[in-house]
Amino acid sequence: MKARASILGIGCSAFSTKLEASQTSLGADAFLAALDDSGLSRDQIDGVSIHYGGPLGIDYDRFVSAFGLDIRYVNQHWRNGRFISTAMQNAALAVDAGLADVVACVTAISFTRVRDQLNAAGNAEAVREEGGTHGEAPPYGFTFPAGGPALAMQLYMSRFGVTSEDLAAVPMAIRAHALRNPGAIMRKPMSLDDYLASPMLSDPLRVVDCCLVSDGAVVVLIGRPDMARDLKHKPVDIVGMQGLRASREEFIFAPRALGIQQQSGNYQAGRERDMEVYRSAGVTRDDVRGFYTYDAFSPLVLFALERFGFCGAGEAASFVKDGRIGPDGSLPVNTSGGLLSEAHVAGWNSVVEMVRQLRGDAGQRQIPDADLLQWGTSWGDSILLANR
C-alpha cells in the first residue's frame, strides 16, 4: 500500500522512569517540539491520530482542547502498543485522501502512574476469562504480559537448540545502541555476565529481557509531501506499508505456531504474504539499512527478523550474534535503544530515531548511507521510510 504522505516533523518530551508531569504536560512538550522541528504553525494542524488514550495517555478531545486546535479529522486507537503502525497508517491514508493536510500522531503516556493505579485496584483486564489485551490467558495460568513471549521462547529454544546465552545478544546489542544516546534511560553497559545475573521473571525471560516502565511523549507530524518546500527539513517519505496480521494462528507476542494457543503446525519464516511491504515500495529486503521493531520483550526481535525473512526459521539467534544488529553492524536494530533501553513510548521513540537517521542527524549512532529504514513487528505490520 502506498500513500502520498510524509513525516514533516518530530518532537519528544523527556523520558524517565518517574516524571511528575501529567500526560497533558508531556504531550505539550512533544507537540511544541514537533512544531518547532517542522516550522509548521499550530493552525496548520487539522488532524489528530491518538495512540494510547486515557487512562494511560491522553484522549483526542482533551488534547485538541488543551492546545487550542481546530480539527477536521480524528482517529484514536486502543490502548496497546501494537497499534503504533495502525495510527501512522491511518494518518497517512487520511492525508492521501484529503481528509486532513497535517495529522499529529500523538502518544503521551505515563506507565508509572497507571501501574500504581492498577496495582492498587487490581488489573481486571489481565484476568478476564477470555484473556487480556496483552495476550494474557488465565485458563493457562498467564495473567501478565511476559507469560506469552516466555512460553513462545521456551518452545523456540526447544525446537532450534537456542540457549539463554544466545538470547542475551539481543538486549546486549540494544543496550550498546543506548550507550550512544544521551536521552536513553538505561546507559549502563551490559555484559553477558550482567545479563545472566539479571533476575528471572518468567523462564527464560529475565528482567533485562523486558521493556522499561517509563513516562514520556512523542508527536509525529504526517502531512502532504508538497508542504515540505516551506519547512525546516526535507520530508521523510512513507514509501510502503502493510497492516497488522490477525487470525486464529496469530498471537500478539509470538510467531504463528508458537503462541499460547497456537503451539502446533509448522513455523515458517519469511512467508510471501509478509513481503507485501517491499513490493509496495518497489524495493527489496537487501535495500533496508536498519530495522526497527517493537522490542517489548527480547524474543520479539528474533521473531520479527524471521517474519520478514532476514533469516530463516530458528536462525535469528545466530543472526544477531557478533554485533550484527548492534552499533556498526550490518543490520542495526533499534539504534536509539528501543523499549528495552531508551524508553517505552510504545515504539514511537524508534520512529523518531528513524527520522533522525534518514535526515543524517543521529550523531554517533548514525547509520552510513541510511536511505531506507523499516519498522516491522513480530505480528506482521510494517512501514518503510525513505529520504528524498
Rounded distance, CA 28 to CA 319, Å?
41
Please give the CATH superfamily to which domain 6-115+215-235 belongs.
Answer: Thiolase/Chalcone synthase (3.40.47.10)
Reported as a single tens digit per residue, the pLDDT across 121-155 is 455 555 555 666 677 777 777 778 888 999 999 99
- Report the pLDDT value the prediction gives residue 336, as an integer from 0 to 100: 98
Neighbouring residues of 381: CB distance < 8 A, sequence distance ≥ 6? 82, 85, 86, 241, 242, 243, 244, 245
Q: Where in the chain is the domain with CATH 3.40.47.10?
A: 6-115+215-235, 131-209+238-387
- Report the pLDDT value the prediction gives residue 121, as an integer from 0 to 100: 44
Rounded distance, CA 253 to CA 299, Å?
9
Domain 131-209+238-387: give its CATH architecture. 3-Layer(aba) Sandwich (3.40)
Name the region of 86 (left: φ>0; alpha: ψ -120 to 50; beta: rest): alpha
Tell me the backbone φ, ψ of residue 357, rounded to 5 degrees: -60, -45
Q: Beta-carbon neighbour count of residue 371 at 10 Å?
A: 15
For the chain, which ranges sit under pLDDT 70? 1, 79, 114-133
- Report the pLDDT value the prediction gives residue 1, as an integer from 0 to 100: 63
**What is the model's pTM?**
0.94
